[in-house]
Structure 1
Amino acid sequence: MVWTFSLTGKIERLVKGLEKRQKALLESYKEQIGIFLQDPLAGSVLKGDLSGYKCWDWTFRGVSLCIVYKVFEGDKHIIICYFGTRENFYEEVKSYLK
Protein backbone atom coordinates (compact mmCIF):
# COMPACT_ATOMS: atom_id res chain seq x y z
CA MET A 1 0.00 0.00 0.00
CA VAL A 2 1.24 3.48 -0.89
CA TRP A 3 1.61 6.19 1.75
CA THR A 4 -0.64 9.23 1.43
CA PHE A 5 -0.23 12.62 3.03
CA SER A 6 -2.15 15.76 3.88
CA LEU A 7 -1.18 19.22 5.05
CA THR A 8 -2.44 21.23 8.00
CA GLY A 9 -4.22 24.46 7.13
CA LYS A 10 -1.19 26.52 8.19
CA ILE A 11 1.11 24.55 5.90
CA GLU A 12 -1.33 24.90 3.00
CA ARG A 13 -1.25 28.69 3.40
CA LEU A 14 2.55 28.68 3.65
CA VAL A 15 2.90 26.59 0.49
CA LYS A 16 0.48 28.87 -1.37
CA GLY A 17 2.66 31.85 -0.42
CA LEU A 18 5.78 30.05 -1.64
CA GLU A 19 4.19 29.49 -5.04
CA LYS A 20 4.34 33.25 -5.62
CA ARG A 21 7.68 34.10 -4.01
CA GLN A 22 10.07 31.16 -3.88
CA LYS A 23 9.39 28.54 -6.51
CA ALA A 24 12.83 26.89 -6.17
CA LEU A 25 12.29 26.38 -2.42
CA LEU A 26 8.82 25.00 -3.08
CA GLU A 27 10.22 22.51 -5.60
CA SER A 28 12.87 21.40 -3.10
CA TYR A 29 10.16 20.96 -0.44
CA LYS A 30 8.05 18.84 -2.79
CA GLU A 31 11.07 16.75 -3.72
CA GLN A 32 11.81 16.06 -0.04
CA ILE A 33 8.21 14.95 0.57
CA GLY A 34 8.57 12.48 -2.30
CA ILE A 35 11.74 11.11 -0.73
CA PHE A 36 10.41 10.60 2.79
CA LEU A 37 7.09 9.20 1.57
CA GLN A 38 9.07 6.18 0.40
CA ASP A 39 10.08 5.51 4.03
CA PRO A 40 8.36 7.90 6.48
CA LEU A 41 9.81 6.08 9.47
CA ALA A 42 13.33 7.15 8.42
CA GLY A 43 12.89 10.68 9.81
CA SER A 44 14.23 11.66 13.22
CA VAL A 45 11.99 11.01 16.22
CA LEU A 46 11.25 14.16 18.20
CA LYS A 47 11.20 14.04 22.01
CA GLY A 48 9.64 15.87 24.94
CA ASP A 49 6.67 18.07 24.10
CA LEU A 50 7.01 16.98 20.47
CA SER A 51 7.00 13.23 21.05
CA GLY A 52 4.85 11.48 18.49
CA TYR A 53 6.21 13.65 15.69
CA LYS A 54 9.04 13.00 13.26
CA CYS A 55 11.36 15.43 11.53
CA TRP A 56 12.89 15.27 8.05
CA ASP A 57 15.96 17.49 7.61
CA TRP A 58 17.68 18.76 4.46
CA THR A 59 19.72 21.71 3.27
CA PHE A 60 18.60 24.14 0.58
CA ARG A 61 21.10 26.75 -0.63
CA GLY A 62 23.08 26.50 2.60
CA VAL A 63 20.06 26.78 4.92
CA SER A 64 19.05 23.87 7.18
CA LEU A 65 15.34 23.14 6.82
CA CYS A 66 12.97 20.60 8.28
CA ILE A 67 9.53 19.15 7.81
CA VAL A 68 7.71 17.97 10.93
CA TYR A 69 5.11 15.31 10.40
CA LYS A 70 2.99 12.74 12.21
CA VAL A 71 2.84 9.16 10.95
CA PHE A 72 -0.30 7.01 11.15
CA GLU A 73 1.10 3.58 10.29
CA GLY A 74 -2.23 1.74 10.30
CA ASP A 75 -3.72 4.09 7.74
CA LYS A 76 -0.42 4.57 5.86
CA HIS A 77 -1.04 8.31 6.15
CA ILE A 78 1.16 11.25 7.10
CA ILE A 79 0.07 14.69 8.24
CA ILE A 80 2.64 17.39 7.52
CA CYS A 81 2.50 19.82 10.42
CA TYR A 82 5.45 22.20 10.08
CA PHE A 83 7.95 23.36 7.50
CA GLY A 84 10.71 25.83 8.21
CA THR A 85 14.30 26.54 9.19
CA ARG A 86 16.19 24.87 12.02
CA GLU A 87 16.78 28.26 13.67
CA ASN A 88 14.74 28.39 16.92
CA PHE A 89 13.27 25.08 15.77
CA TYR A 90 11.65 23.74 18.95
CA GLU A 91 10.06 27.04 19.95
CA GLU A 92 8.64 27.61 16.48
CA VAL A 93 7.25 24.11 16.13
CA LYS A 94 5.60 24.21 19.56
CA SER A 95 3.91 27.55 18.84
CA TYR A 96 3.02 26.44 15.31
CA LEU A 97 1.26 23.29 16.52
CA LYS A 98 -0.92 25.14 19.05
Structure 2
Amino acid sequence: MANVELAKSVSRYLDNKKKCSPPLREEFIQRILLIPDDIEVGIPLVGNLSGCYKIPFDYKRVSYRIVYEVFENMERAVVVYCGPRGNAYDRVKRKLRRR
Protein backbone atom coordinates (compact mmCIF):
# COMPACT_ATOMS: atom_id res chain seq x y z
CA MET A 1 0.00 0.00 0.00
CA ALA A 2 1.51 3.30 -1.09
CA ASN A 3 1.24 6.67 0.60
CA VAL A 4 -0.38 9.33 -1.57
CA GLU A 5 0.08 13.06 -1.03
CA LEU A 6 -1.51 15.99 -2.82
CA ALA A 7 0.54 18.98 -3.94
CA LYS A 8 -0.74 22.28 -2.55
CA SER A 9 -1.90 23.38 -6.00
CA VAL A 10 -3.95 20.19 -6.34
CA SER A 11 -5.62 20.73 -2.96
CA ARG A 12 -6.42 24.33 -3.90
CA TYR A 13 -7.88 23.24 -7.24
CA LEU A 14 -10.09 20.59 -5.64
CA ASP A 15 -11.30 23.05 -2.98
CA ASN A 16 -12.13 25.80 -5.51
CA LYS A 17 -15.84 25.32 -6.27
CA LYS A 18 -15.69 27.69 -9.25
CA LYS A 19 -13.03 25.64 -11.03
CA CYS A 20 -13.97 22.21 -9.69
CA SER A 21 -17.65 21.50 -9.07
CA PRO A 22 -18.53 19.02 -6.29
CA PRO A 23 -19.44 16.20 -8.74
CA LEU A 24 -16.16 16.73 -10.64
CA ARG A 25 -14.29 16.79 -7.33
CA GLU A 26 -15.79 13.39 -6.52
CA GLU A 27 -14.62 12.05 -9.90
CA PHE A 28 -11.08 13.19 -9.11
CA ILE A 29 -11.18 11.76 -5.58
CA GLN A 30 -12.50 8.37 -6.75
CA ARG A 31 -9.59 8.06 -9.16
CA ILE A 32 -6.97 9.34 -6.71
CA LEU A 33 -8.14 6.73 -4.20
CA LEU A 34 -7.16 4.00 -6.69
CA ILE A 35 -3.46 4.94 -6.41
CA PRO A 36 -2.67 3.53 -2.91
CA ASP A 37 -3.91 0.04 -3.86
CA ASP A 38 -2.06 -0.09 -7.20
CA ILE A 39 0.53 2.64 -7.63
CA GLU A 40 0.88 1.75 -11.32
CA VAL A 41 -2.86 2.22 -12.01
CA GLY A 42 -2.01 5.16 -14.26
CA ILE A 43 -0.35 5.20 -17.66
CA PRO A 44 3.42 5.82 -17.46
CA LEU A 45 4.64 9.05 -19.05
CA VAL A 46 7.85 9.22 -21.08
CA GLY A 47 10.58 11.71 -21.88
CA ASN A 48 10.92 14.65 -19.48
CA LEU A 49 8.05 13.24 -17.44
CA SER A 50 9.36 9.72 -16.92
CA GLY A 51 8.67 8.65 -13.35
CA CYS A 52 5.20 10.19 -13.61
CA TYR A 53 1.90 8.52 -14.39
CA LYS A 54 -1.36 9.90 -15.74
CA ILE A 55 -4.95 8.93 -15.11
CA PRO A 56 -7.07 10.30 -17.97
CA PHE A 57 -10.85 10.59 -17.84
CA ASP A 58 -13.69 12.53 -19.41
CA TYR A 59 -16.38 14.40 -17.51
CA LYS A 60 -19.19 16.22 -19.30
CA ARG A 61 -17.32 15.99 -22.61
CA VAL A 62 -14.13 17.58 -21.24
CA SER A 63 -10.87 15.61 -20.92
CA TYR A 64 -9.19 15.76 -17.52
CA ARG A 65 -5.88 14.46 -16.20
CA ILE A 66 -4.48 13.41 -12.87
CA VAL A 67 -0.68 13.32 -12.98
CA TYR A 68 1.32 11.85 -10.14
CA GLU A 69 5.00 11.26 -9.49
CA VAL A 70 6.24 8.06 -7.86
CA PHE A 71 9.08 7.97 -5.30
CA GLU A 72 10.98 5.64 -2.97
CA ASN A 73 10.69 2.26 -4.65
CA MET A 74 7.02 2.70 -5.52
CA GLU A 75 6.14 3.39 -1.85
CA ARG A 76 5.05 7.04 -2.18
CA ALA A 77 3.17 9.03 -4.80
CA VAL A 78 2.59 12.77 -5.03
CA VAL A 79 -0.31 14.01 -7.13
CA VAL A 80 1.22 17.02 -8.89
CA TYR A 81 -1.65 17.97 -11.21
CA CYS A 82 -5.43 17.64 -11.43
CA GLY A 83 -7.35 19.54 -14.04
CA PRO A 84 -8.26 19.89 -17.70
CA ARG A 85 -5.99 18.18 -20.19
CA GLY A 86 -5.36 21.42 -22.14
CA ASN A 87 -1.86 22.35 -21.01
CA ALA A 88 -1.54 19.77 -18.24
CA TYR A 89 1.85 18.45 -19.27
CA ASP A 90 3.44 21.89 -19.65
CA ARG A 91 2.27 22.75 -16.14
CA VAL A 92 3.65 19.49 -14.77
CA LYS A 93 7.02 20.10 -16.44
CA ARG A 94 7.21 23.58 -14.88
CA LYS A 95 6.32 22.22 -11.43
CA LEU A 96 8.91 19.47 -11.63
CA ARG A 97 11.58 21.89 -12.87
CA ARG A 98 11.06 24.09 -9.78
CA ARG A 99 12.05 21.27 -7.44
- Same fold (TM > 0.5): yes
Following TM superposition, where does structure 1 have runs of at least 4 consecutive aligned residues deviating by more than 4 angstroms?
Answer: none
Select between 22-31 and 74-83 the one with higher mean Cα deviation: 74-83
1:33 matched to which residue of 2? 32
Q: Spell out, residue by residue over 1:17-52, the C-alpha distance to the aligned partner (whole angstroms, 9 max, x if none).
A: 148961011011001112233212131111222121
The answer to whether the aligner puts 1:86 opposite 2:85 as a matched pair is yes
Between Structure 1 and Structure 2, how many residues are aligned? 97
Q: Distance in 1 between matches of 2:51 and 2:93?
A: 13
Q: For the structure 1 residues 58 and 6, does the alpha-carbon distance in structure 2 shift closer, same or farther, using more than 3 Å as the test?
A: same
What code does the residue aligned with 1:29 have? F
TM-score, with structure 2 as normaliser: 0.79
1:57 matched to which residue of 2? 56
Identity of aligned residues (%): 30
1:45 matched to which residue of 2? 44
**Would you tell me which structure has more helix in proportion to its own residues?**
1
Conserved in 1, the CA contact under 8 Å of 2:65 and 2:84?
yes
Conserved in 1, the CA contact under 8 Å of 2:44 and 2:53?
yes
What code does the residue aligned with 2:50 have? S
Gaps of 5+ in 2: none
TM-score, with structure 1 as normaliser: 0.80
Select between 84-93 and 41-50 the one with higher mean Cα deviation: 84-93
What code does the residue aligned with 1:34 have? L
